Structure 1
Amino acid sequence: MSMGCEKHDLLSRFMASQGESYTETALRDVVISFLLAGRETTSSALTWFFWLLSSRPDVERRIRDEVAASVWGEDARAYRPERWLDPDPAEATFRPESPFRYIVFHAGPRICLGKEMAYIQMKSIVASVVEEFEVAVDGGYTPRQVASLTLRMADGLPVRVKDFRGGN
């Protein structure tokens, strides 16, 4: 950075925002935090999601139907934020859930900076997998929790993945 190299990745931007005040130790800690927070939490959440989804074929079908539909509509390129509101005029207001309701990302001044990125990643992974594959968990499988920074599933989630269109 000090040699005039301008990069636009997250680490380079962080370094530039700190000027010369960052230390290698602080920089290492930031990188480790991003890697652990981003990978561990998202993968754990997806593991638990697919386990829960395996017990609800009706929900899986609704997700698959939604992914398969022209979700954005005929006017996908038009700026119409009201498309996400309830069509009933009496209820046509956006009411986001309280960030304190789902505390995994915390809320208030200590809210997770990667919350929105995690949601985007998880939604796109779920949509991609459910659209193409059926993820089947053995009905008798009961996961064990591992106490760690995130609530992980011991030994992962044993699944059988089948091509949704009938293949293996």
Structure 2
Amino acid sequence: MAKPIDAIDRKILKALLSDGRLTNQQLSEAVNLSPAPCWQRVKRLERDGYIQGYMALLDQELLGASEIVLLEVTLDRHDDDAVENFGRAMAAMPEVLEVYLTTGEYDYFLKVAVNGTAGYEEFLRKRLFKVRGIRHSRTSFTLRCLKKAYSVPPDAERSGG
């Protein structure tokens, strides 16, 4: 079980959320802690699952996938095989950035990066429509991203301690 975190742990998480490339020295200075205890805390936060990994954020437009499309998908069946098949198919598609199993009118919510309407048509014809078991889908193109976050910042009310 993960150990509850304290105010220093929250400062570490907040600093790493802002810049995951901070050296241990820079991080320890940012949170007013000497380097050795700072490093030990980071390792504990990783081990306990508070820090799940580190990644580079890439510019989708420069990579030729500047449009974000949001899709709602309904399957024609909901047994274990259908759900597993759909999940495997979505995981294999590089342009599918996120997939959520949802409640409500649709079964899944997908976030897909494409190169304009032509790229979306290609995604539909060559990828999505080849997945067996899709009954219905609904699409929305995003116009502009107003906020993008990859995690909720650590907060005393939500952090388990």
- For normalisation by structure 1, the TM-score amounts to 0.23
Higher RCO, 1 or 2 (CA under 8 Å, sep at least 6)? 2
Structure that is richer in helix per residue: 1
Structure that is richer in strand per residue: 2
- For normalisation by structure 2, the TM-score amounts to 0.24
